[in-house]
Amino acid sequence: MHNDQDRFKLFTRRASILAGGQLALVSALVGRLYYLQVLQEDRYRMLADENRISLRLLPPPRGRILDREGVPLAVNSRNYRVLLVAEQSPSLARTLDALGRIIPIGEHDRRRIEREVRRKRPFVPVTVAENLGWEQVAQIEVNAPDLPGISIDVGQSRFYPYYEEAAHVIGYVAAVAEEELTGDPVLELPGFRIGKSGIEREYDGAMRGKAGTTQLEVNALGRVIRELKRQDGQPGDDVELTLDIDLQRAVSRRLGNDSAAAVVMDVRSGEVLAMSSTPSFDPNSFNQGISSTEWRALSTNMKAPLINKPVSGQYAPGSTFKMIVALAGLEAGLVAPDDRFYCRGWMDMGNARFHCWKRHGHGWMDMHEGIKQSCDVYFYELAKKVGIARIGAMSRRFGLGGTVGIDLPGEQAGLIPTREWKMARVGTPWQRGETVVAAIGQGYILTTPLQLAVMSARLATGRAVTPRLTRRLIGPDGDTRLPETPEFPPLGLSEPALAVVRDAMDAVTNHSRGTAYRSRIAEPEFAMAGKTGTAQVRRITRAERLTGVRKNEDLEWRQRDHALFVAFAPVKTPRYAAAVVVEHGGSGSTTAAPIVRDILLEAQRLDPGGRRRLAGGADGRGEGG
Amino acid sequence: MASILGNNRRYERPLSEKIWHLGWALIFLVAVISAVGFAMLYSAANGSIHPWAVNQMIRFGVGLSVMVTLAMVDIRTWMRWSYPIYGVMLFMLAGVELYGEIGMGAQRWIDLGVVRLQPSELMKIAMVLALARYFHGLQVEDVGRLSWLVPPALIVLTPAFLVLRQPDLGTAGMLMLAGAAMFFIAGVRAWLFVVIGVAGLAAIPVGWQMLREYQRQRVLTFLNPETDPLGSGYHILQSKIALGSGGMFGKGFLQGTQSHLNFLPERQTDFIFTMLAEEFGLVGGVALIAMYTLVIAYGVAIGLWSRNHFGRLLAMGVTTTIFLYVFINIAMVTGLIPVVGVPLPLISYGGTAMLTIMIGLGLMMSVLVHRDTFIGRRGPSEDD
């Protein structure tokens, strides 16, 4: 028994030690729990939320582009897609067969779908087909019981209802490129589109809006369980353009398939009513991702359909520049309107002979006749008196030689040469002969069709009219931004001098000996005043002069002259100014002038500026579009 | 005193008295813990008694009857049957090596047609029985002799080795730790533990070679779980996130986001404590630990109350086994030790574990009921 007593004592001691050890270890567990659940709670709570909360961006609806009447030119169309959730479909093959009776599913599509289903988790939707018609959508909805796992999803895609007719102004949207990522997370959303050209690019920021967010609870497999919180984004602003889509379409159609540019402006407000560049392209094709053949066709086309010629095309203005030279002379007091020069068909200066377009000469020319008949020799003589510096200064007052600040990307400045420019750029001093050539808008001088339209508007009003394409931005709550029509300051030219030039331009179209008499507007109340221009793109050699200058029709397309015409109308109370350049179109009087006649007539008939007034107020109509 | 003990030798209490002496407080505690388990399994199934809670309830009912039945069996009978039970379990364990099915990447089951048994679980109790039987027959002086320690060492190491080969690191560890605890309370010299401890440390490189690749990975990720958060470290990290985010008072019953969104692996079995702590917070976790502590304290008390050495050793052995279950499981899910796959007693879903605990508690209760039974050093057989 003594033995058992000892054993019991030993047992008690050891059992107590063991129990004590166990208690210590249990305490360690409690301490560990305290550490994890109290001291580290915030950290783990955050990790837990990171685990289960998936923050997703809700792309904002892009603002629309409207014409001046509120007609939508760029909208977000509903893009109906068919999605398939594999786990909801007991038999993929049978579901696809059933769906195939409603919409065509090719063998290729079928393989792609099956491949995607295999690769993705069974609850992740797979796109079966896109851009469904409403009828197909309705049929699928009706047959829903036979189509387990099939659902219709509505996405947004950009749609341009006027296709190519205003493509260059509106521009297009396309997928975001790597270098365009700015850190805005919305840009990284799959399928997000940003403006790549035209207004779409210029006002991309305003039209983009602000992305909303949604907090989704997801499980360990990434399946969405529910939406925890949703913050709706802000839709982008609508952009209301100054364009009148009816006039725009008329202009685009009138230009046809020529490589040409046309601008129609309201001379009082500077609003651009039509701006057309042909040939054009369908901006819708960029949205879905343009095919490489289509892209190659567009980018290698000699007529450069992707270039917005009214602002990016630079052309020698030809004789349309003569008003500037005339005004420079009048303004400097170096010439009176009645001063006459004799045109014998050419003018010699030093060793060089400068030809008039009229081989046998115009005889005695004053300023009025010089412009009306577009006598080159008159302006050679005038330029010799006036000098390149004054011509350049007057050019700039009319908006040439620098960007006019239109709200479009890619605007070119053109070129009005100076002595300093030539020294710096070419490295040789200015030659007198170059002044003579400049007088007829040739040589170094380059202008854009938009600049020519601005020039015409300034001639018509005597004010520093500046063009614009946007009337206002309309926010999602209807608020309007962008100032209303600014007051344009006068150019500071004397009214008699301007009158001389305007009368001469009137005579160009409305006097029987004017160069564009055949393209006059017969209706007196719509009559226009204009000026022809024919810009040479090649040098005519002495040998050719002797054998006879080759006619345009005999030359290959790229060698032919550019045809230009600038005008404003009506003559007495100008409302609209226009400029047209037809690349390699031949002569201004035969090719460009009839186009301007037609579009100015159409402009006055439609009278977008006047209609707005009648509609009562700046709000126009058709906000809903 | 001797005469009283002598009388007791042949005294057998009537059944009614035995039932009266059952540890009703312990049964109540066990029922409460099991009820917590039902609730957690209900939650693990996202608010459904199917498929786990209902099964677990049935098993608890069966287990409770087994426990009470075993408690009624005379302590001397248990002592007499200790070695045979151990022998059968060892045989079955070896059988798993030969005929066992592949389950969970390790051979652990023996399919008897009706039930699938995990001999390694039951071995934990059988080993305690055998060791208690052995040390009961040993004199205090004998315990000090190394030669006398060879048989019990074999009793521990043979099943541990078999289990390790299955391979089941958790069970092998538990067998060895429970065995060591039995050695300790039996009175084996303290310095021997020091020597074995040092030797064990020295053997780590050897043991490392014996581990399977996934076991090594578990140990490595335990040491640095953040290195591979989506791979092997996933379990530990997700468990800690779920636990930690539970905070002081938890997210509420059925509201545990991490467990219900499937971030928490094995939430109905090994990681069920994590879910409890996520939903009921520190308060819930500590309350459960407190209940386990009461069970363990009760077990220690039973050991101290028992008047026969076999009962004392048995009670302490069972208690230590339960403690090891609880400690290893919670330490595992809280990232204190590597993930070794030890269930939480009475709460984790699983038949054999529930049965093992209930059998253990039944034996412990038998010690309680028969605490006044005197058993001679040479065992009960000499008296019959």
pLDDT of residue B105: 43
B330 touches chain A (CB under 8 A): yes
pLDDT of residue A72: 94
Check whether A97 has a pLDDT greater than 90: no
Interface of A with B in 44-63 (CB under 8 A): 44-45, 47-49, 51-52
Sort out which chain B residues have CB atoms less than 8 A from A5's CB and list them: none
pLDDT tier for residue B383 given thresholds of 50, 70 and 90: very low
SS3 at position A152: strand
Q: Please, which residues bridge with residue A535 across strands? A: A562
Inter-residue contact B377 to B139 (CB < 8 Å): yes
A28 touches chain B (CB under 8 A): yes
Check whether B20 has a pLDDT greater than 60: yes
- Which DSSP symbol is given to B287? H
Sort out which chain B residues have CB atoms less than 8 A from A34's CB and list them: 282
**What's the mean pLDDT when you consider all of chain A?**
88
Q: Please, which residues bridge with residue A194 across strands? A: A174
Please enumerate in sequence order all residues whose Cβ is within 8 A of that of B168, keeping only pairs 6 or more positions apart, or say none: B106, B108, B120, B341
Buried b / exposed e along A139-172 (16+ C-beta atoms within 10 A): ebeeeeeebebbbeeeebbbbbebebbbbbbbbb
pLDDT of residue A113: 84
Higher pLDDT, B9 or A271: A271
Kindly state the average pLDDT of the residues A75-81. 84
Higher pLDDT, A114 or A434: A434
Instruction: Respond yes or no on whether the N-terminal peptide bond of residue A570 is cis (omega within 30° of 0).
Output: yes
Distances (CA, A) of A42 to A45, B244, B245, B250, B334: 5, 8, 7, 13, 16
Based on the number of CB atoms within 10 Å of its own CB, is A529 exposed (0-12), middle (13-18) or buried (19 or more)? buried
CB contact under 8 A, B246 and A26: no
pLDDT of residue B108: 55
pLDDT of residue A502: 96
Q: pLDDT tens, B62-119?
A: 999 999 999 999 999 999 999 999 999 999 888 776 665 444 444 456 655 445 678 8
pLDDT tier for residue B46 given thresholds of 50, 70 and 90: confident
The 3-state DSSP composition of chain B as helix, strand, coil percent (nearest 5) reads 70, 5, 25
B246 touches chain A (CB under 8 A): yes
A614 touches chain B (CB under 8 A): no
pLDDT of residue B338: 80
Q: How many CA atoms lie within 13 A of B202 on its CB side?
A: 6
**Residue A221 is nearest to which of B262, B297, B309, comparing CB atoms?**
B262
Inter-residue contact A393 to A328 (CB < 8 Å): yes
pLDDT of residue B381: 54
Q: pLDDT tens, A138-181?
A: 888 888 888 888 888 777 789 999 989 999 999 999 888 878 87
CB contact under 8 A, A52 and B248: no
Q: Which of B194, B214, B209, B242 is nearest to B44 (CA)?
A: B242
Q: pLDDT tens, B221-248?
A: 666 655 555 555 678 888 899 999 999 9
pLDDT of residue B158: 92
pLDDT of residue A4: 72
Kindly state the average pLDDT of the residues A559-581. 94
pLDDT of residue A548: 76
SS3 at position A234: strand
CB contact under 8 A, B323 and A4: no
User: Catalytic annotation on A319?
Assistant: yes
Sort out which chain A residues have CB atoms less than 8 A from B184's CB and list them: 14, 17-18
Q: What is the ipTM of this complex?
A: 0.89
Q: Pick from A155-169, A326-340, A478-492, B368-382 the range whose average pLDDT is largest.
A: A326-340
CB contact under 8 A, A48 and B334: no
| Least confident piece of the model among A363-367, A408-412, A571-575, B166-170 | B166-170
Kindly state the average pLDDT of the residues A354-375. 93
Q: Please, which residues bridge with residue A349 across strands? A: A352
Q: pTM for this structure?
A: 0.67
pLDDT of residue A137: 86
pLDDT of residue A56: 76
Sort out which chain B residues have CB atoms less than 8 A from A7's CB and list them: 140, 187, 309
| Least confident piece of the model among A428-437, A601-610, B137-146 | B137-146
Helix (H) or strand (E) holding B321: helix B309-333
A15 touches chain B (CB under 8 A): yes
State the Cα–Cα distance between residues B108 and B96, nearest whole angstrom: 7
Sort out which chain B residues have CB atoms less than 8 A from A43's CB and list them: 244
A512 touches chain B (CB under 8 A): no
pLDDT of residue A440: 94
Inter-residue contact A207 to A237 (CB < 8 Å): yes
- What is the residue-wise DSSP string for B112-136? -SS-EE-HHHHHHHHHHHHHHHHHH
CB contact under 8 A, A44 and B243: yes
Q: pLDDT tens, A443-486?
A: 999 999 999 999 999 999 999 999 999 988 998 877 776 666 67
pLDDT of residue B382: 46
Q: pLDDT tens, B137-176?
A: 888 778 778 888 899 999 999 999 888 777 677 888 899 9
Q: pLDDT tens, A339-361?
A: 999 999 999 998 889 999 998 99
- Chain A nearest CA to B18, separation (Å): 24
Check whether A382 has a pLDDT greater than 60: yes
**Residue B304 is nearest to which of A12, A22, A41, comparing CB atoms?**
A12
Higher pLDDT, A58 or A200: A200
**Residue A41 is nearest to which of B181, B244, B303, comparing CB atoms?**
B244
CB contact under 8 A, A220 and B261: yes
Kindly state the average pLDDT of the residues A292-298. 85
pLDDT tier for residue A118 given thresholds of 50, 70 and 90: confident
Interface of B with A in 189-228 (CB under 8 A): none
Check whether A376 has a pLDDT greater than 80: yes
Higher pLDDT, B226 or A589: A589
What percent of chain B stands above pLDDT 70?
86
B150 touches chain A (CB under 8 A): no
Distances (CA, A) of A183 to A54, A176, A187, A189, A211: 19, 12, 8, 12, 13
CB pairs A-B closer than 8 Å:
139
Q: pLDDT tens, A245-266?
A: 999 999 999 998 889 999 999 9
B287 touches chain A (CB under 8 A): no
Residue from A5, A10, A23, A37 whose CB has the most chain B CBs within 10 Å, to mutate: A37
Kindly state the average pLDDT of the residues A91-105. 86
Phi, psi angle pair for A174, to nearest 5°: -155, 175
- Chain B nearest CA to A153, separation (Å): 26
Read off the tokens for B172: 């092998």
Check whether A556 has a pLDDT greater than 90: no
pLDDT tier for residue B199 given thresholds of 50, 70 and 90: confident
Kindly state the average pLDDT of the residues A15-21. 93
Q: Which of B8, B22, B1, B7 is nearest to B367 (CA)?
A: B22
State the Cα–Cα distance between residues A456 and A474, nearest whole angstrom: 31
pLDDT of residue B176: 92
